[in-house]
Structure 1
Amino acid sequence: MLILGIETSCDDTSVAVLKTEDERLEVLSNIVSSQIKQHAPYGGIVPLLAAREHEKNLPVVLDEALRATRYTIRDIDLIAVTSGPGLIMSLVRGVNFAKELAEKNNKPLIGINHMEGHIYSNWLPESSKALQLYSSIAFPALCLIVSGGHTELVLMHDHGKYALVGRTVDDASGEAFDKIARLIGLEYPGGPAISHEAEKFDATRYTLHVTLPRPMLHSKDFNFSFSGLKTSVLYLVRDLKVPLENVRTEIAHEAQKAIVDVLISKTMKAAKKFQPKSILLAGGVSANKRLRSRLAEEVSRLTPKTYYLEPALQYTTDNAAMIACAAYFKAKNSKLQDLSFESVEPDANWEIV
C-alpha cells in the first residue's frame, strides 16, 4: 500500500509518501517546509500568516514529495490528512487541499488526529530503513506527548484505543519554553533556544542560585501546569539586580530542569499506577536532549522491565510521515472504498479520546 500523508496543523507544511508491504513500513519521502523565519519576527505563530504560507507551499511540497519517489499521484492507494487538533485556518488549508486531491484523483481519504500522529512517530524508521511495523512495542503503552500546544499522558491499550491519563490545566510545556525564552531574550522557537543556552551552564559558576517552582509536582493526579513557572521567571527577570546577560544561561538551565522534572515525575507516577509494558515519548518537545536522556534513565531505574522508545529526531516535530503511519493502522482493517473524502472535516479541538 502507498499512503500519501499531509500535515498542516500549525506552521509546518509537510507531505510524505509511505510504503507498506508484508507488515513493513518504508518512508519513501517526508518533505517539511518550515515557517520559522516568517514567524520569528513576531515571537510566535501568526495564524493568518501560517494559513497563507500553507496555501502557497502545499502544491510545491506535494510535487517535491512525489518526485522524491518513483511514483505519481495515480499510484497512491490512500490519502491521509491531519484534520485536528490545531490552528483552524491551517487545518482548513490542509483538509481542503487533501479533499480536492482525493476527489480529482478518485482516492480514498482519511482524517487523522494530530496527537495520534505524534504517538505513531515512534513506529517510524530512522533514515530510509524499513521497520517491522509491530516492532517490540507492547501494549498497554503509556505515552507522554509534549508539544507547543499540548502536554498529555495517554494510555494506549491497543492501536486506536486510548485513555487520557493526564493533561496540562493551562500552558503546554512547549508553550512554557517559548514564553520563558522570550522573557530572557532568546530567539523563537524557545525550546531549542533554551536547550542550547542551558548546555553552556557551568555548575561551578552560579550567580543567582535560583530555584524555580515545579508546579503540581506533588499533586495526586497526573495533570500538569506550567503557567506559574512562566510567571516566576517573569518576576525573577523583573527584579534582577544584575544584567540579564550575566544570568541568562543559569535561568535557562533551571527553567529547562524544572519543566523536565515535572514531565518525568508525572510520567513515572503514572507508570507506577498503570503498569504499562511500554513507555513512549512523542511531540516537538521530545527533541529536548535533557528530557530524552533523563526519561530513559528513570525508566531504566524505576521500571527496568518496561520497554522505552522515543522517536527519531527527524520525526519529533510536525511531519506528514507520522500522519501516514497513523493512517496505516487506522485503515488496515477497513475497506478503502468506504473511506469518503466528504466525511473529513477540520476540527481544531479534536480530542484523541
Structure 2
Amino acid sequence: MGPTKSMQDITITLATKPKASLGASVFYPTSSPNIENSLSDVLVVFLNGLVLSRRAWSPAIHHLLSNFSDNDQHPPTILTYDRYGQGDSDPDPSDEPSSIPYGHDANEIVSDLHQLLTQFTISSPHLVNLESTRLVFVCNSIGCPLARIYARTYADQTQIAAYLFLDSMMANTDFVSIFPDPDDPGFDPGSLPSGISLQELRYARSQFCKFFHPTVPNAEHFDRRKLAEMLPFPDAPLLPLTAVPGGDRSGKKAPLLAVVGHDWNEFAEQCEKGTMAVTKQVINTFMNPAWASYNDGLLRLVRLPGDPRAVKIAVGCGHFIQKDDPEFVAREIKHLLDNLQAPR
C-alpha cells in the first residue's frame, strides 16, 4: 500500500455554534477497500479525557496505520478532536461568563459531538451520512462515560459498532468517598490494614478531593457535578444494539466492547511519586480495588450468553494508557476492527 499516511489537522465549525471552532485531526483512506474485507463505512472516533488533548492519540494512531500498511490492509476513516475549551479548540460559546468556573455539562458535550459527527460524515469521501456509518469509539478517562451518554441519547440515530474503554473514569463516585472517613463517628480505626495511618487516610481524601472531586473546575468549564446522577451504575443502562451491516435496523446485534484497566502497581507508583503524593499502600488498599470493580461492571454493559470476556490490564500503564503504551492501544483498536469484519 506504500508509505503510511499521517493525520491531517483541520478546523470544524459546528452549524449550531458558528461563533467558535473545534480543532480536529482526520485520516481519510486514499483507496476503496475490497468488498470482502470492508471498513469503508467505519469511522473511528477518539474521545479525550480532561487532561490530555487529541494530540495524545497521535502515537497510537501512527502504530495503527502502520499495522494496516504492513498487512496490506485498508484502514477506516479516523477522527480526533478537542472539545470546546480544550487543546486547539475555542471556548464553548454557550458558556455564560457568570457561570465560570462551571459551564456546559455532559449533555451539551454529547449534543456537540452529535452535530460534529453529523457534519463530518456528510463531508467525508468514504462516508455517506451518520445513520449509515458504523462508529467505533476509542475513549480514555471521562471520554468513556461521555460515550455511554452519547450512545443512550442517540441510540435511534446512530450505529455504534464497537467501544474501547481505556481506564474509564468512575462516573458514579466523588472519588473521596472511596476512602473511609477517619473522622466519621462510626469509623473503626482497627479496620485499617497495618501500615496505613489515620493521617495518611486523611491526606489521601484531601488530595483526591483537591484534584478529582466533581466540583473541581477544569479548563473546559465542563460541569461534572451531576455526572453521578446521569450514570449511577457501571453496568447500566446497557449499550444499545447496532444494526447488522448491509441489512435494515430490524436485524440488530450487540456491539463489541473491550474494557482496559490500568496496571495497579504502575498507577500506585505514579500516585505516590507524582503530584498526588499518596502512598502506594493506600492506593492499592482502597482506590485500585474500587476501580477494578467498576471496570468489571462496565463489561456487563453488553450482555452475551456464555461471555468469556474479562477486563484487560495494560501492563506498565497508569491512567493515561494511550500515553504510556500507544502500541498496546493500537493493537486493541486493530483487534476490534478485525472483529468487525469477521462473521459473528
TM > 0.5 between the two? no
TM-score relative to the length of structure 1 = 0.32
| Greater relative CO, 1 or 2 (CA 8 Å, sep 6+) | 1
TM-score relative to the length of structure 2 = 0.32
